[in-house]
Amino acid sequence: MRELVAWPIMRVERAQQIYDGFIASFRHWMMSGAVHSRVELSADRTQAALRLSVQSTSQVLEWSLQASEILHNLRSALDSLVWSLSILDAREPTNPNSIMFPVLERPQDWASKARSLHKTPTAMLERIRTVQPFLLPTPQRSVLYWISRLNNDDKHRAILSLDLRTRRIEIPREVLDTVGTPRHEQLMDPPLLADDELHAIFHFARPLPVDIEWSRAVTEARLLLLRESDAWEVSGLLGICIRSVRDTISWIAGTGPRPPLILQTFERPGQNGDYELITNTLYIDDADRAAAQSR
| Other C-beta atoms lying within 10 Å of the C-beta of residue 277 | 13
Per-residue pLDDT at 79:
95
* Cα-based distances in Å from 132 to 4, 108, 137, 142, 250: 21, 12, 12, 8, 15
Q: How far apart are CA 101 and CA 106, in angstroms?
A: 15
Query: For the whole model, what pTM was predicted?
Result: 0.82
Q: How far apart are CA 152 and CA 145, in angstroms?
A: 11
Q: Tens of pLDDT along 227-282?
A: 766 778 888 889 989 999 999 999 999 999 988 776 444 444 444 333 333 333 33
Which segment, 75-79, 118-122, 142-146, 168-172, is predicted with the most confidence on average? 75-79
User: For 1-27, what is the mean pLDDT?
Assistant: 91
Question: Collapsing DSSP states into helix, strand and coil, what is residue 41?
Answer: strand
Per-residue pLDDT at 19:
96
168 — pLDDT class (breaks 50, 70, 90): confident
Of the ranges 14-28, 33-47, 276-290, which one carries the lowest mean pLDDT score?
A: 276-290
209 — pLDDT class (breaks 50, 70, 90): very high
Pick 199 or 101 by higher pLDDT.
Answer: 101
pLDDT at 177 over 70: yes
Which residues, in sequence order, are CB contacts of 176 under 8 Å at separation 6+?
none
Q: Tens of pLDDT along 33-86?
A: 888 889 999 999 999 999 998 877 888 989 999 999 999 999 999 999 999 888
Q: How far apart are CA 147 and CA 140, in angstroms?
A: 11
Q: How far apart are CA 234 and CA 89, in angstroms?
A: 40
In contact, 142 and 136? CB cutoff 8 Å: yes
Bridge-partner residues for 168, per DSSP? 220
